[in-house]
Structure 1
Amino acid sequence: MKKFLKYTLAVIVGSVVSITILTLGFFIFVGILAASTSQEVTVKDNSLLVLKLDGPIVERLADDPFAQIFAEISGEAAPMGLNQILSSIKKAERDDRIKGIYLESGLVMGGHATIEEIRNALLDFKKTGKFIISFAPVYSQKSYYLASAADRIYLPPAGMLNFQGISSQHTYFKNTLEKLGVDVQVFRHGKFKSAIEPFTRTNMSDEARLQTETYVNSMWDHITQKISEVRNIAPDRLNEIANQVPMFQTDDFLLKSGLLDDLKYKDQVLNELKDSTKTDYTKDLNSIDVRQYAKAYVSDGKKGIAKNKLAIIYAEGAIDSGQDGINSEDLSRTIREARRDSSIKAVVLRINSPGGSGMGSEIIWREVKLTADTKPLIVSMSDLAASGGYYIACAADTIVAHPNTLTGSIGVFGTIPNLEGLLDKVGISTDVVNTNKFSDMPALTRPFRPEEKEIMQAYIEHFYDFFLQRCADGRQTTKAAIDEIGQGRVWSGENALEIDLVDVLGGIDTAVDIAAEKAGIADNYRIVELPEVLPPFEQLIKDLTGNASAYMKSVFFGNSEYLKYMQTIENLKESYPIQARVPYEISIN
């Protein structure tokens, strides 16, 4: 017995010591890693900026030193911040140590407006006289559009280049829900409000097809026009090339098409880069990755720190639809604090959102309106600023969008699943006691009664009227005028400019310039990004707690279609009953 107690005590003590050592080691590791991220980056003379865009591009990347580690575990490339990419390209313009950009973006993971933003930054970079060379074994269509900003575009022999026009695919769950015994009860206003169609149809409605054809054709026309300007190929000829599907054509076809400058292996491209930087073939190129370069200091020529601030507030994700999206209370607080800060003279609200909760959208709108009444507030739209995303934008002084932004979708819907059939299949029954006529409304275990449908539809109509009024006030027009272009219809940014839903075509730099000009600080200001990013350790705790579920899903499913379907079903389960959002899944190549 004594030996048993002795061994037991030894095991307990050993476990405690081991846990203590591991915990201490963990915190030391965190400290070292956090310290390493704050070290100043050295840029060598005669260097190349390497723009390898192989990970998901988000609007702004948190200061998370563990993202790369988690990405390696999951086998996925670490995400990149669009703000980092744009600021790095802009710094490189005035950095004499950077002689050019080497672009590897074969399978870039970003929306069309995001790609447009980076491409425009690259075109500005070229105006300095510095060069851009692009190389990739495979170019996706978005990647090729980005690469078209380069001076020279290379592909290795037998490489692949996708250039075949835009396709928008919608996914439908009606048959699956029927097999499960789930009936989704739908209430909506807006004949174009196709967000509910995945749960009620097996294909596009005529209205959904019309709006999709309109915005994809607008986007494709813009892409071919911009490629035509830099490659000197007429848009009609580009469409002829696309109709022959270059991805499955010969090397000779690709060269004759004019889409490429030459077929080269990577070692040949590296030698050309050495020629361009006057580097000896026997030596390595001086280069720095965009992730490291984002931390490098490059003087902007200004003396001292400007007192005037211009705040860029990021609003990314669905509204009140999960941890990774926009929390209406948090975003409202951020906007309110910016309004009350006298040193912040203007605000740019950067929106990349499909919308979401109607109530959450109204909460954010209120703070946007109060701020716009106090100081200049300019909206910059990214890939998506639709439905609730447009709701929170409409009170701005000026709305800036890319030609390929998807916006509008001014409409409202509600979806209440009826699980009665599913419960019957598994032998579950329910019963209820109510004190009043509608005490259990909305019930998930039975269909809506006629009078309940009337109540729900009346509320939808009321909220849609509310939405119209917000947009009409913001755009200084009538509810009838907004209803004419509303009805849940999605528009491209270029279409939206024609119907006065947006004011200017451009990116975040355009929005910043407008905000600074309106605030009278164009010659003397500095930018602050809000909400403030968490310190590395706090970000780690958030990753290991609040985002653990999302992280584990990404480990097991990666960026597969299964993960998209899971997220769609979860959004249906968790979402606020009244939604102002764009269709759940818009997949555009």
Structure 2
Amino acid sequence: MKQFFKFMFASAFGFIIAGGLLVLIFFISIAGLVSSLEDGIKSEKKVSVKENTVLHLKLNQPIVDRAEENPFAKLDVGPFKNAGQIGLNELLESIEKAKEDDRVKGIYLDLKSYPGGMASMVELRNALKDFKESGKWIMAYSSNYSQGGYYLASVANSVYLYPEGELSWKGLNAEITFFKNTLDKLGVEPQIIRGKNNKFKSAVEPFMKSEMSEANRLQTKKYLTSIWGKMLGDISTERGLSIDQLNLLADSLMITSADDALKHKVIDGTRYYDEFTAELRDSLSIEKDDDLEFISYNKYKKTSLKKKDDDDKPSYKIKNKVAVIYAQGSIETGKSDGTQTMGSETIANAIREARKDSNVKAIVLRVNSPGGSALASDIMWRETELAKEEKPFIVSMGDLAASGGYYISAYGDRIFAQPTTITGSIGVFGIIPNAKKFFNDKLGITFDGVKTNAHSDLMTISKPLDDFEYSKIQDGVEDVYSTFLSRVAKGRGMTVEEVDKIGQGRVWTGADAKEIGLVDELGGLEDAINYAAAQAELEEGDYKVREYPKQEDPFEKFLRDMQFQAKYMYADMILGSDYNYLMELEKARNMDGIQTRMPYVMRIK
């Protein structure tokens, strides 16, 4: 009886604590939302740019194509840490604006690592290079540089490192976790169905193998080498170091300290922060006791720049528009959920709305997706087909436009990608776990039941597929792959056989994709917008860019996110950085139907 009361009181106490925490989260969140709104109102009224200003770009939050309005961005506790995002679109606009702003003299690039994908990094680096070539300067300073951080910093006029800091330089690697042996021990059989020719569709390999297949090893080596080559080429140009030198430094691990980085001319100097700020004062020609005028990206993006030409047409009189539709996240049926999930209903509606708007003269689909549901991909594809029949329809690929992401891109009149964009992965798969042995032998759980027809229990995890069921699902996968091939063939002006040769689930970089005909031009979103405008015979100043889909009301998002934040609060506090793996498992659990999905999640450090 004592044990009963002990557990009863413990449970009750746990319930009270959990409830209290949820209430606390609610009020903290409300306070954060109110504070955020107040700051927004104040910033609109008070933000101004003083003469001799330095734009401070501190890239310490995830960079996505278009950031969503987030009421948790001001909070910095528990699962709300780093809840904010940086929109690449606004970041590029701010750099372009700063280039034309006489009040801004230079940029202080403040970063340790780059919190985004490789293609967006190249796009941002190109914008910074353009800023520098305008005659203004960029200084990069950090206590540590990751390889991605250094690649971005290398565009600066001067690259400085804290005297006791570190710079990582060792080359790129790809490591995949395999679960086959674990599943064998648990008695779980992953019943895998993929296209018969999809030897490169390696998303299923972690469940069926204990090491990489030769096909997967080949494609991974190919695109890693392509990305590394792009990084080396750009750094070599800016730093005056040969590619052979840079490879030798990586192979020999010759950079283990700030002094090593300076010795091998990877950086321009070591500085303490006070010495770095003194350098900034010299660049601004101000006295050592004068205050530096910094303006953060978050504030600067809210400022406006007066046009030098007084005859410019007021924006409200410009009716012509180029629509930019942001299709980012894992592909699922239904509605989009922020930047993580691309819902077929949301994107299809956005394309349809842009197509039917007579003021929209051209459409740019900005794709940043590893793929997902084949059905959802096809729903969106149909709208791209209809849009292309009526207006110039251009595709701009971000970090990822793979599998389902390529599916919805294939009908573009012209496809733009960065050299480091990950694309292709034209293939199909499905996984149905058979956990009968796990339940029977490990847990002692058995199943029994009744059914009205021979295969009413199809897709249950408590029994294996029989040969007939397997063949039926295989036929379905082959049909989807055949449809995928035909969509790409028609969109790209190729034969099905030609697409199959470069398909089979294989992943390509944007540079390689251009060579084989999957991509038309290497360039960023701005290049795609300019091309779309030209195709619609619009001149600069005669059109505005309108972004789709319409962003969710922040108050509605706040209420929806409350449930999400409470659900994963403890997981985030316990797992820390490994929290990302939990999120990937959550995505896998929500997969529905046959998948056209990227083989794995990529994070380049």
Common topology (TM > 0.5): yes
- Seen in structure 2, the aligned counterparts of structure 1 residues 112 and 513 have a Cα distance that, compared at 3 Å, is same
Inter-partner Cα distance in structure 2 for 1:465 and 1:477: 14
Q: Report the counterpart of residue 176 of structure 2 in structure 1.
A: 170
| Mapping of residues 312-391 of structure 1, within 5 Å | 312-320=324-332, 323=337, 324-391=340-407
Q: Report the counterpart of residue 551 of structure 2 in structure 1.
A: 533
CA contact (8 A) 1:34 1:537 kept: no
Which of residues 228, 234, 238 is equivalent to 2:246? 238
Inter-partner Cα distance in structure 2 for 1:72 and 1:345: 46
Tell me the CA shift for residue 341 of structure 1. Answer: 0.9
Tell me the CA shift for residue 241 of structure 1. Answer: 1.4
Inter-partner Cα distance in structure 2 for 1:107 and 1:220: 16
CA contact (8 A) 1:380 1:508 kept: yes
Over the matched positions of the two proteins, sequence identity in percent amounts to: 43
Q: Report the counterpart of residue 297 of structure 1 in structure 2.
A: 304
Which of residues 20, 31, 39 is equivalent to 1:36? 39
- Seen in structure 2, the aligned counterparts of structure 1 residues 77 and 280 have a Cα distance that, compared at 3 Å, is farther
**Residue-pair matches, total:** 566
Q: Report the counterpart of residue 451 of structure 1 in structure 2.
A: 468
- Seen in structure 2, the aligned counterparts of structure 1 residues 30 and 356 have a Cα distance that, compared at 3 Å, is closer
Which of residues 278, 284, 289 is equivalent to 1:271? 278
Tell me the CA shift for residue 437 of structure 1. Answer: 1.8
CA contact (8 A) 1:154 1:260 kept: yes
- TM-score normalised over the length of structure 2: 0.89
Which of residues 453, 469, 489 is equivalent to 2:506? 489
Q: Which moved more, 1:432-441 or 1:294-303?
A: 294-303
Q: Report the counterpart of residue 294 of structure 2 in structure 1.
A: 287
Tell me the CA shift for residue 59 of structure 1. Answer: 1.6
Tell me the CA shift for residue 251 of structure 1. Answer: 4.0
Inter-partner Cα distance in structure 2 for 1:527 and 1:165: 39
Q: Does residue 182 of structure 1 match 2:198?
A: no
Question: 3-state SS of the aligned residue for 1:580?
Answer: strand
* Code of the aligned partner of 1:303: K
Q: Does residue 430 of structure 1 match 2:442?
A: no
Inter-partner Cα distance in structure 2 for 1:511 and 1:120: 15
Q: Report the counterpart of residue 22 of structure 2 in structure 1.
A: none
CA contact (8 A) 1:401 1:507 kept: yes
CA contact (8 A) 1:71 1:77 kept: no
Inter-partner Cα distance in structure 2 for 1:29 and 1:206: 51
CA contact (8 A) 1:60 1:82 kept: yes
CA contact (8 A) 2:36 2:74 kept: no
Tell me the CA shift for residue 585 of structure 1. Answer: 2.8
CA contact (8 A) 1:114 1:382 kept: yes
Q: Report the counterpart of residue 395 of structure 1 in structure 2.
A: 411
Which of residues 511, 521, 524 is equivalent to 1:504? 521
- Seen in structure 2, the aligned counterparts of structure 1 residues 482 and 52 have a Cα distance that, compared at 3 Å, is same
- Seen in structure 2, the aligned counterparts of structure 1 residues 542 and 292 have a Cα distance that, compared at 3 Å, is farther
Question: 3-state SS of the aligned residue for 2:75?
Answer: helix
Q: Report the counterpart of residue 420 of structure 1 in structure 2.
A: 436
Question: 3-state SS of the aligned residue for 1:352?
Answer: strand
- Seen in structure 2, the aligned counterparts of structure 1 residues 236 and 300 have a Cα distance that, compared at 3 Å, is farther
Inter-partner Cα distance in structure 1 for 2:568 and 2:484: 32
Inter-partner Cα distance in structure 2 for 1:163 and 1:25: 41
CA contact (8 A) 2:430 2:593 kept: yes
Question: 3-state SS of the aligned residue for 2:447?
Answer: coil
Which of residues 251, 258, 265 is equivalent to 1:258? 265
CA contact (8 A) 1:386 1:410 kept: yes
* Code of the aligned partner of 1:456: I
Q: Deviations over 1:416-453 (max 9, x none)?
A: 11121222122222123222222221221111101111
| Mapping of residues 125-274 of structure 1, within 5 Å | 125-189=131-195, 190-248=198-256, 250-274=257-281
Q: Does residue 51 of structure 1 match 2:68?
A: no
* Code of the aligned partner of 1:344: V
Tell me the CA shift for residue 29 of structure 1. Answer: 7.6
Inter-partner Cα distance in structure 2 for 1:241 and 1:81: 34
CA contact (8 A) 1:56 1:109 kept: yes
Q: Report the counterpart of residue 476 of structure 1 in structure 2.
A: 493
Inter-partner Cα distance in structure 2 for 1:96 and 1:423: 70
Q: List gaps (5 residues or longer) in structure 2.
A: 1-24
Q: Report the counterpart of residue 404 of structure 1 in structure 2.
A: 420
Tell me the CA shift for residue 28 of structure 1. Answer: 8.7
CA contact (8 A) 1:161 1:246 kept: no
Tell me the CA shift for residue 258 of structure 1. Answer: 1.7
Inter-partner Cα distance in structure 1 for 2:259 and 2:588: 49
Q: List gaps (5 residues or longer) in structure 1.
A: 1-21
